[in-house]
Structure 1
Amino acid sequence: MIDLEASPYSRFEYGIKSETTKQKYVKRLELFFDFYRIEGSTVEQKSENFLKVIKYGKNTQKLTDLIMRYMSYHLNRAQKREISRSTVRNYYKPIKLFCEMNNIVLNWKIISKGLPPAPESSNDRIPTLDEIKELIKYPDRRIKPIALTMISSGIRVGAWEWLKWKHIIPLYDEEKRHIGAKIIVYDGEPEQYFSFITPEAYISLKDWMEFREKQGEGITRESWLMRDIWNTGRIISNVKELNLKGASGLISVPKKADSNAIRQIFTRAWKIQNIRELHNQRRHEFKSTHCFRKYFETNALNSMKLLNVKILMGHDTGLEKSYYKPAEKELLQDYLRAIEFLTIQDSEMKLTKEVEELKEKSKENEYIIHGKLGEKDKQIEELIRKQEKTDLLIQSLIDSGQLKPIQKTSNK
């Protein structure tokens, strides 16, 4: 007989959309169970046993007290500066989701009363162009394609969990010139959307995939965009591998580089390149990877519509979504205007744009000069016509005897 009832843990898991969020929520939920020494060798078993301990919905006050005591523990940690006050709520969220997904009704307003207010938007700055240029000099071939892709598309670091080579689609204009690429984000997930990347970001990704193929990896459309580092000896001898064992992998057996690995790559790169300073004792001036998303938003808004930027970032635009549905072509045309602000190293593109601007300015000056010369020509023609009329009038007066011609006098 088929068991149609879902487990407490599977209900909790169902309520999480992002794989990155899932990893964090599961870890913190298990911390809650371990705090009260709930038995079980897995988080699934602990979930089952926890509901038995609280007698599954029959004693909500007991559960409320348990959660409040647990949150008080983290508030004390914040007071001792073991964690920041802004992270206390992160321990509360998975517990709330677990209860809600298992139909446990609690007065969350009471429980959250003692918690610090939800943090407002961060005032971290974005890295400068020179800082990014210095970063991508770091001797890990993955740094450049990851940074340029995130900067030019605005994707979250968690998106790399899904990205494969097939999700990068090169784009060309009517004259068959390469203008960038479309990127499919969270393919197959409910939150799937698309964005674009600049020509330099696409070329950087393409170079990375071709490098892997030359090294012996069988590249297909299903290949992960980012993978573990393999033992290349002289090529990457100083880069410590980021897998759990701390050893290099094999070129022929690629392992996907997940979002945690990518965060570690950039945390180390910022530090070794001596770029990112501490804003205070606990925080840096900008986030390790989220800064790229903020860089995209800030610079794209230099030339794009606000709602189009939100759409390309995968933001929920709220009510606007029902009324504002731009076509992909319209989004691309708006994005193309922002490429110069999202380009980091492509000096050729910037130089071409400067040349085009100079040519356009030259055309304008030429047009003005031609216009002024045309006006002078008209004025000269008008003067000639007037002179001809005057000459005709004088000649007619002479012919009628009303005017005597002027006699030239000679000096003797």
Structure 2
Amino acid sequence: MTLASSLKQVSNEVKAIELEECRSYKIFKKAVPNQVTLHNYNYSLKEFLRYTNFTNYDQVCQSDKIQEILENWIMDLSDKQIKGNTIRTKLSPVELLLDMNRIVVYKKILHKLIPKDNGIAGGGMPFTNEDIKQMLESTKKLRTKALVHFIASTGIRPSAIIDPILRRSHLVEMSNDCLAIRIYDNSPEGYWAFLTPEAKKALNRYFTARKINGETLTDESPIFVNEYDKIDKDGNKIKFSHLTYDNLATIMDDLVQHAGIKRSKTGNRYDKAVVYGFRKRFNTILKINNEINSNIAEKLMAHKNGLDGTYFKPTREECFTEFKKAILDLTIDDSQRKTIENESLKKDKTELENALLDKERLREDVEILKLQVKRIRESKEEDNP
């Protein structure tokens, strides 16, 4: 790192600290308990701050022209062909900042200025198995491969890796060579997700590589870590820090581009989102399988699903029973799928053979009982001629 880039990094960190010290921001922050949401909100707030040329959020809240500034900002974004939904996303944290600081603006006017979106929204298409195969073939990094399998098998939201940080203690061995993992642990939104045998194998290979590279794995070790050392404020190395939301987004974005996945762009968004493309694939596989309980499918997607989200509390085993029905379709590698199919056929054959054997034993038991009854009757006839 050059001196200039180091100075720029230090300057940015100082500015970030100064922004967070503003009273208006501290009040705003209390209204956003989720760290991923706060991260996204901060991005939009800083974007708006750059537009205003103010140096901090206190100045934003003290401005007597804030309504006019907001109107001009929305119109400028519209002129740049920014989608209406994107503008609403950018505006939402600014409105919350003002609300929390008791600053009144005419929101109805602001929202009337936002253009209506026409056409098909981006990000609506799922990745296909062929897309995911291309991704896996385009990288040699075991962490990236494990991430792809992990997200494809669980369908998690990207925020799930840090809310809280997913650790090895969240993993539980299951039957069928699968793993369970607790997502959003110790939270009202907590639920069980599962790894297919294929995903479990990829994750174990990644763990083995980390051990070889000198990491001591414990139950508290993050499931996914940064590959490079970080330096703390005292100049000490921080090894094996957990993967962040930004890390995940960068890894997956680079992977999709490097793999040459065919995607169509609508406005500023692609039809296949780098993480949600996996989630949409997962959702589609669950929903088109008529054998899977629809309410548990919603649980596996972390959807609240109305009152069922409050009162319906299936166990881990009950969720896994439904997940098993989707393992074949969730599996990416054709050879792995063939192995699962063969094992399933063997299991079905064994169960059929056992059922036939039980039937034969039952038939034999019936014949023995008939013979015993016959002998009892003959004995009684002899006693009573």
**What TM-score comes out, normalization by structure 2 length?**
0.74
Letter in 1 for 2:156: I
Q: Is the 8 A contact 1:164 1:222 kept in 2?
A: no
Offset, 1:285: 4.0
Letter in 2 for 1:353: S
- For 1:255, the equivalent position in structure 2 comes to 241
- For 1:307, the equivalent position in structure 2 comes to 295
Q: Does 1:264 align with 2:250?
A: yes
- For 1:196, the equivalent position in structure 2 comes to 194
**Cα–Cα, structure 1 residues 210 and 317, in superposed 2: closer, same or farther, change >3 Å?**
same
Offset, 1:190: 5.6
Q: Is the 8 A contact 1:185 1:194 kept in 2?
A: yes
Offset, 1:167: 4.3
Q: Is the 8 A contact 2:122 2:270 kept in 1?
A: no
The percentage of aligned residue pairs carrying the same residue is 22
CA deviations on 1:315-352 (whole Å, 9 max, x unpaired) are 22233324433333322222222222222233422321
| Counterpart-to-counterpart distance in 1, 2:58 and 2:186 | 30
SS in 1 for 2:142: coil
SS in 2 for 1:207: helix
| Counterpart-to-counterpart distance in 1, 2:165 and 2:122 | 27
| Counterpart-to-counterpart distance in 1, 2:177 and 2:40 | 38
Letter in 1 for 2:224: M
- For 1:96, the equivalent position in structure 2 comes to 95
The equivalent position to 1:170 in structure 2, one of 169, 172, 193, is: 172
**Cα–Cα, structure 1 residues 260 and 206, in superposed 2: closer, same or farther, change >3 Å?**
same
Looking at secondary structure, tell me which structure has more helix per residue. Answer: 2
- For 1:30, the equivalent position in structure 2 comes to 46
| Counterpart-to-counterpart distance in 1, 2:144 and 2:262 | 16
- For 1:341, the equivalent position in structure 2 comes to 329
| Counterpart-to-counterpart distance in 1, 2:188 and 2:71 | 34
| Counterpart-to-counterpart distance in 2, 1:357 and 1:271 | 42
Structure 1 unaligned runs (5+)? 1-5, 40-45, 55-61, 232-242, 245-249, 375-412
| Counterpart-to-counterpart distance in 1, 2:190 and 2:93 | 23
Offset, 1:181: 2.0
Offset, 1:101: 2.6
- For 2:374, the equivalent position in structure 1 comes to none
SS in 2 for 1:222: coil
Q: Does 1:19 align with 2:18?
A: no
Letter in 2 for 1:34: R
| Counterpart-to-counterpart distance in 2, 1:192 and 1:88 | 31
Q: Is the 8 A contact 1:127 1:286 kept in 2?
A: yes
CA deviations on 1:51-73 (whole Å, 9 max, x unpaired) are 2334xxxxxxx433332122111
Offset, 1:116: 2.8
Offset, 1:213: 0.8
| Counterpart-to-counterpart distance in 2, 1:297 and 1:208 | 26
Q: Is the 8 A contact 2:171 2:180 kept in 1?
A: yes
| Counterpart-to-counterpart distance in 1, 2:102 and 2:184 | 29
Letter in 2 for 1:76: D
Q: Is the 8 A contact 2:67 2:105 kept in 1?
A: yes
Higher relative contact order (CA 8 A, sep 6+): 2
CA deviations on 1:91-146 (whole Å, 9 max, x unpaired) are 21111121223333444222201213479865632222122122112222122211
Offset, 1:36: 2.0
Q: Does 1:228 align with 2:226?
A: yes
Q: Is the 8 A contact 1:300 1:342 kept in 2?
A: no
Offset, 1:293: 0.8
- For 1:401, the equivalent position in structure 2 comes to none
Offset, 1:283: 4.5
Offset, 1:262: 1.8
Q: Is the 8 A contact 2:142 2:205 kept in 1?
A: no
Letter in 2 for 1:8: S
**Cα–Cα, structure 1 residues 350 and 16, in superposed 2: closer, same or farther, change >3 Å?**
farther
Higher gyration radius (CA): 1
SS in 2 for 1:152: helix
The equivalent position to 2:344 in structure 1, one of 345, 353, 364, is: 353
Offset, 1:17: 4.2
Structure 2 unaligned runs (5+)? 1-21, 232-236, 364-385
Q: Is the 8 A contact 2:168 2:223 kept in 1?
A: no
| Counterpart-to-counterpart distance in 1, 2:121 and 2:33 | 22
**Cα–Cα, structure 1 residues 84 and 38, in superposed 2: closer, same or farther, change >3 Å?**
same
SS in 2 for 1:142: helix
Residue correspondences, number? 326
Q: Does 1:331 align with 2:331?
A: no
| Counterpart-to-counterpart distance in 1, 2:305 and 2:273 | 24
SS in 1 for 2:178: strand
- For 1:297, the equivalent position in structure 2 comes to 283
Letter in 1 for 2:62: K
Offset, 1:188: 4.7
CA deviations on 1:72-94 (whole Å, 9 max, x unpaired) are 1111111xxxx444422222111
- For 1:47, the equivalent position in structure 2 comes to 57
SS in 2 for 1:16: coil
Q: Is the 8 A contact 1:145 1:205 kept in 2?
A: yes
